[in-house]
Amino acid sequence: MAELDTSGGGKKAPGVKKGKKLSTRIDLTPMVDLGFLLITFFMYTTTMSKPKTMEINMPNTEKIDPKDQTKIKESTAMTILLSKNHRVYYYEGLATDPAVPPDLKVTTFKAKDGIRDAIIAKKLKVAQLQQSGALGPKDPATILIKPDSTSTYEDLVNILDEMSINDVRVYAIVDITDVDQGFIQATEAANGGK
């Protein structure tokens, strides 16, 4: 038996052939077809994201007969006045008599003791009145939002977000009256113009 020379310079063993080294070639042409098939598949199966918008129901522009109008009860109403410097004034009721000013309170959109807490308290008060029988089940808490000319769009969006967060189903954006602006000015004057 012949010994195998591993030194690299000697004789080779009889009967052992050196293998021919073949180059490996991979044809990638089908991969292009597969890529286009995958792109087409994902394009057809992907759903496009729809833009999320806030739905606002605009009031009817026709004049409504006074007997057909929905009347808001004083006990279910809360009026929110948006003013400058992100201040939020609010009072319970409608304040239909300018000679008797409402108990106007001032807050902001802060997390604690903000307008959210006032809205929650009003909803609880209306729910208690419904349970006691003083209000019917079709008398929900109603919020009237009155932005002042000095308020910002950010404040209006924030208060609409509060309506959504607190699940207030009946609310309306109403023009601010001169009486309400007088309430704001009187409150600011009492607080030293702050």
pTM score: 0.64
Looking at residue 69, its pLDDT comes to 63
Looking at residue 177, its pLDDT comes to 85
Identify the residue whose tokens are 């007969």. 65
Q: Model confidence at 193, in pLDDT bands (50, 70, 90)?
A: low
Average pLDDT over residues 160-172: 90
Question: Of residues 26 and 166, which shows the higher confidence score?
Answer: 166
pLDDT tens for residues 89-129? Answer: 999 888 777 777 788 888 988 888 889 999 999 999 988 98
Answer whether residue 4 shows pLDDT above 60: no
Answer whether residue 41 shows pLDDT above 80: yes
Cα angle 58, 148, 105; round to 5: 110
Identify the residue whose tokens are 């400058």. 84
Q: How far is CA 122 from CA 113, 142, 155, 159, in A?
A: 14, 9, 20, 15
For 44, counting Cβ atoms within 10 Å of its Cβ (0-12 exposed, 13-18 middle, 19+ buried), the class is: exposed
Looking at residue 7, its pLDDT comes to 54
Check: CB of residue 141 under 8 Å from CB of residue 122: yes
Q: Model confidence at 2, in pLDDT bands (50, 70, 90)?
A: low
**Token pair of 172 as six digits:** 């309306």
Looking at residue 11, its pLDDT comes to 58
Q: Model confidence at 59, in pLDDT bands (50, 70, 90)?
A: low
Identify the residue whose tokens are 């010994």. 3
